[in-house]
Chain A
Amino acid sequence: MRAFTVIMTLFVASLLSGATAVAQEGHPLKGSWIGTWGPSKTHSEDLLMVLNWDGKAITGMINPGTDNIPIKSATLMPDTWSVHFEAAAKDTTYTFDGKIENLAMHNRSITGTWKSPKESGKFNVQRQ
């Protein structure tokens, strides 16, 4: 299953990386983000986040596919451009705390830490 997840993640990432870089001047979190989160014994190091903003709430998904992880809650603190995500997988939960960097760029990034009840590490994703 892990190998399948890796393949699917890389496949989606390859599709996205081939797309033309399009500016996104609206809500800074909206879009697809690709990067890494690790090391981990339970999931791959590849990380894909798809985030949206409907005017009231930030919603999204981590690693879309058979082992996707819905984001249960997400907040953005615009005074510092800090973010906090909580995501619930089938058998565990994940918490992400990070900060948006290079805000003005279409390929801005989020860098920070993640943790689950058994593991923790750093993550970095870049908007595609």
Chain B
Amino acid sequence: MTSGVRRISVLVLAGVLLAVIPGLAHHEILGKFDDKKPITLNGIVTDVDWKNPHVHVFMNVKDAKGGVLNWAIELESPIDLQQSGWSRDTVQPGDAITVRGMSARNGSRQAWGESVVVSKTGKRVLNMTATAPPPPLQPRPSPRWPDKQLRLGAAPGGAQGYWAYPSSTVLVEKGVTAPMSRYGLLKNISDAPKVAPMQPWAQALYISRQSRFLQDDPTFLNCKPPGGPRQFQQSEGVQFVEDRERQRIFVLIGGGNNNFRIIYTDGRKQVGQVGGDDDNPLYYGRSVGKWEADALVVDTRGFNEDFWFTNGGLPHTDQLHLVERFTRPDYDTLKYELTVDDPAAYTRQWSSEWTLRWVAGQEQPRHLCQENRP
């Protein structure tokens, strides 16, 4: 196979894979909109609210009686729209547009926009495209520090990049098949018992959250941090900053409220943060890590119960104990392996794993969920 044919084959494969990636919203839109109630609206744009977490286009629409009503059309986030070629000027007040999408569950004049067409030109301006970088033709060796230890972050020399496009955006026990949306909404609620070995109360709570279409997710409702493994399943990705002098690794979270997590690699025991605040449970817990050959093994305890630690709403308690294993088999792949131990919510330990892709040459996107919050 020639290099040209091979390149085309890789691109075609990437295109096929990307074509099956569903919408890019930051949370389960079915919590607010009903996919069983399609809607088409024709009208005039009155305003564009270009803010996180989702952009809104407001439009005047004539009703059956000849009156004019203002509708709010919710779209993807500014980051996702920009990556798909939008800008805040793509549609402007006064433009006539046609919107196709889903009606709001509560019957209000709101709709989720799946298609936006400018009436004058017939041009479809909302055309979401997944933007996962194509895989490299040949695996590149993992970058290393001068002492040969693996690097989790960028290579030396000021190269930019971050980790994103997780191979799974949902947490399911390894080996289990339970189809769900990328936000963790089960296709079939009867699969709930298979997702993880939950105690009866935890399973009932999980089913309750699922049956409400995940609309109570505190990460999106109240901008709570995506603690635990969820930080590695966000669309904005993560970045590792290794401070070897002070023996700690910072994990910068692109989504949520843009906070960070510290993994101490100085050999300290699980004794809390710098001040020793053992009684102060945290969204990201307290993490101590050590290198075992080319694997960073991280032990984390001390979580609070104020957030969902997975997309999809698997419950946890303050007894949650995570063991994470990070490896970088090649330059562009981060392998994440996880063991969940929470005896107050699950009947036994269980594990899962996925990979993330290196996004070279780009700054980590910053999604600010604090915008548009009361």
Q: Identify which of A24-32, A39-47, A86-94 touches chain B.
A: A24-32
A105 → chain B closest CB, angstroms: 8
The one of B209, B218, B319 that contacts A23, using a Cβ cutoff of 8 Å: B218
Bin the interface of chain B by size.
20 to 34
Contact indicator B212/A23 (Cβ below 8 Å) = no
Besides the known contacts A25-B218, A27-B201, A78-B200, 11 further A-B residue pairs in the complex with CB atoms under 8 A apart: A23-B222, A25-B305, A26-B305, A26-B317, A26-B345, A27-B315, A28-B201, A30-B305, A30-B317, A78-B205, A103-B205
Residues of chain A within 8 A of B224, CB atoms compared: 23
Contact indicator B305/A104 (Cβ below 8 Å) = no
The verdict on A55 contacting B343 (CB below 8 Å), with A25-B315, A26-B317, A28-B205 known, is yes
Q: Is B203 positioned at the interface, with any CB of A under 8 Å from its CB? A: yes
Contact indicator B305/A79 (Cβ below 8 Å) = no
Please, how many angstroms separate the alpha-carbon atoms of A27 and B318 in the complex?
10
Please, how many angstroms separate the alpha-carbon atoms of A25 and B281 in the complex?
14
Contact indicator A81/B344 (Cβ below 8 Å) = no
The one of B200, B306, B344 that contacts A53, using a Cβ cutoff of 8 Å: B344
Please, how many angstroms separate the alpha-carbon atoms of A104 and B316 in the complex?
15
Contact indicator A79/B204 (Cβ below 8 Å) = yes
B interface residues (Cβ-Cβ under 8 A, vs A): 200-201, 203-205, 208-209, 212, 216, 218, 222, 224, 305-308, 315-319, 343-345
The verdict on A24 contacting B201 (CB below 8 Å), with A55-B317, A104-B212 known, is no
Please, how many angstroms separate the alpha-carbon atoms of A37 and B319 in the complex?
33
Q: Residue among A22, A30, A76, A78 with the most chain B CB within 10 A?
A: A78
Residues of chain A within 8 A of B315, CB atoms compared: 25-27
The verdict on A78 contacting B203 (CB below 8 Å), with A25-B308, A26-B305, A26-B345 known, is yes
Contact indicator B318/A104 (Cβ below 8 Å) = no
Please, how many angstroms separate the alpha-carbon atoms of A53 and B205 in the complex?
15
List 28 contacting pairs A-B, 8 Å CB cutoff, sorted by A.
A22-B306, A25-B306, A25-B307, A25-B315, A25-B316, A26-B305, A26-B315, A27-B201, A27-B315, A27-B317, A27-B345, A28-B201, A28-B205, A30-B305, A30-B317, A55-B317, A55-B319, A55-B343, A55-B344, A78-B200, A78-B201, A78-B203, A78-B204, A81-B204, A103-B208, A104-B208, A104-B212, A104-B216
Please, how many angstroms separate the alpha-carbon atoms of A17 and B203 in the complex?
31
Contact indicator A26/B343 (Cβ below 8 Å) = no
Residues of chain B within 8 A of A78, CB atoms compared: 200-201, 203-205
Contact with B along A1-35 (1 / 0, CB 8 A): 00000000000000000000011111110100000
Please, how many angstroms separate the alpha-carbon atoms of A27 and B149 in the complex?
42
Contact indicator A24/B306 (Cβ below 8 Å) = yes
Please, how many angstroms separate the alpha-carbon atoms of A117 and B318 in the complex?
38
Q: Kindly list the 10 A-B residue pairs having the minimum CB-CB distance in the complex, ordered from nearest.
A: A55-B344, A78-B204, A26-B305, A104-B216, A26-B317, A78-B201, A23-B306, A55-B343, A78-B200, A23-B218
B147 → chain A closest CB, angstroms: 42
Contact with B along A96-128 (1 / 0, CB 8 A): 000000011000000000000000000000000
B109 → chain A closest CB, angstroms: 25
Residues of chain B within 8 A of A81, CB atoms compared: 204
Residues of chain A within 8 A of B307, CB atoms compared: 23, 25
Q: Residue among A26, A28, A78 with the most chain B CB within 10 A?
A: A26
Please, how many angstroms separate the alpha-carbon atoms of A5 and B190 in the complex?
49
Please, how many angstroms separate the alpha-carbon atoms of A103 and B215 in the complex?
13
A27 → chain B closest CB, angstroms: 6
Residues of chain B within 8 A of A26, CB atoms compared: 305, 315-318, 344-345
B175 → chain A closest CB, angstroms: 25
Residues of chain A within 8 A of B343, CB atoms compared: 55
Contact indicator B222/A76 (Cβ below 8 Å) = no
Closest to A22 in B: B306
Residues of chain A within 8 A of B305, CB atoms compared: 24-26, 30
Residues of chain B within 8 A of A27, CB atoms compared: 201, 315, 317, 344-345
Please, how many angstroms separate the alpha-carbon atoms of A105 and B316 in the complex?
16
A113 → chain B closest CB, angstroms: 22
The one of A24, A55, A104 that contacts B209, using a Cβ cutoff of 8 Å: A104
